[in-house]
Structure 1
Amino acid sequence: MDLRKLKTLIDLVSESNISELEITEAEGKVRIVKAGHAAPLAYAPAPLAAAAPLPAGPVMAPAAPEAEPEPAGRVIKSPMVGTFYRSASPGAKAFVDVGDAIKEGMAVCIIEAMKIMNEIESDCEGKISRILCENGQAVEFGQPLFIVE
């Protein structure tokens, strides 16, 4: 990874709300952590993959951990990484509450990403049955935010 790209990544982390960033590329792996958090900046070249011989005979695979069952109803998921907010500003009324009827295209929350407030709209109609995130919580791409019946 070249120095310009590394400097850009460091600036991105320092100017955003994220505390840690890890990127793996063919040349290696970069992990950037803000000061006051876990470990400092680290760079490690990618290890060379060695072909392991296949075992003879049957092999028992370890049991997969039980996945949480899919919630009943439609799920509105986060389209990006950022910070989840239920209202447009602190102290303002929440976009939606449990029991509220929503329509397709209606704003249901805001996700702040890199100091930009992004209104998240519903992709379905129904009634909000559960709110799965707390106000101010960091969310990942594809993380469920709401359950709609």
Structure 2
Amino acid sequence: MELSVTELRELVAALGQSDLVELTLKSTDFELTLRKSAAMLAGTAAATAVVKPDDTMVVSATEPLPTSTPAAPVTPPPGKGSNLVSVNSPMVGTFYRSPAPEEPPFVGVGDRISTGQTVCIIEAMKLMNELEAEVSGEIVEILVENSQPVEFGQTLMLVRPA
């Protein structure tokens, strides 16, 4: 039995919207257990994935995984200026500034960006999700170090719109 990323997302979404606390799928190739965490049961946003040594994957999430990963502009952190736009993480994962360790970063402070341009990658559950700019402008600040874990909604960069 093969399970695509889309099917996995649908399973996570179905679990999040149901009264079920745990769902296990077993085949000759793998075992997948989806389990609501205590945070999820309490209504707090949380998403984690663990692959055990026996290749069992445990996924807990409070909401469906996003099907796309656009960077959403929101109000910047206090004291940073009201004319700046935040680039926020659309998911829990690991922040990467470049497509590979030996490659140059997608963007740096002072760089001009345009709408739709890739600004970073968030790795979640071994999937690389490119974040695209939703505004054109100049990168004013990068608030996250390369390879650092990030939370859902965490501000990654500040952009001065063009």
Q: TM-score, normalised by structure 1?
A: 0.59
The structure-2 alpha-carbon separation of the partners of 1:91 and 1:4, relative to structure 1 and needing over 3 Å to count, comes to same
The structure-2 alpha-carbon separation of the partners of 1:147 and 1:130, relative to structure 1 and needing over 3 Å to count, comes to same
Q: TM-score, normalised by structure 2?
A: 0.55
Name the SS for the 1:124 alignment partner: coil
Aligned-pair RMSD on alpha carbons? 3.0
User: Equivalent residue for 1:85?
Assistant: 96
Q: Deviations over 1:122-141 (max 9, x none)?
A: 01011001001011111111
- How far apart, CA to CA, are the structure 2 residues paired with 1:131 and 1:3? 38
Which of 57, 64, 69 is residue 78 of structure 2 equivalent to? Answer: 69
TM-fit CA distance, 1:70: 5.1
Unaligned 5+ residue runs, structure 1? 11-19, 27-31, 36-67
Name the SS for the 2:90 alignment partner: coil
The one-letter code of the counterpart of 2:154 is Q
The percent identity for this pair of structures is 46
Partners of 1:128 and 1:147 within 8 A in 2: yes
The structure-2 alpha-carbon separation of the partners of 1:125 and 1:23, relative to structure 1 and needing over 3 Å to count, comes to same
Structure whose alpha-carbon radius of gyration is higher = 1
Unaligned 5+ residue runs, structure 2? 1-19, 25-31, 53-76
- How far apart, CA to CA, are the structure 1 residues paired with 2:49 and 2:118? 33
- Count the aligned residue pairs: 103
The one-letter code of the counterpart of 2:97 is R
Name the SS for the 1:23 alignment partner: helix
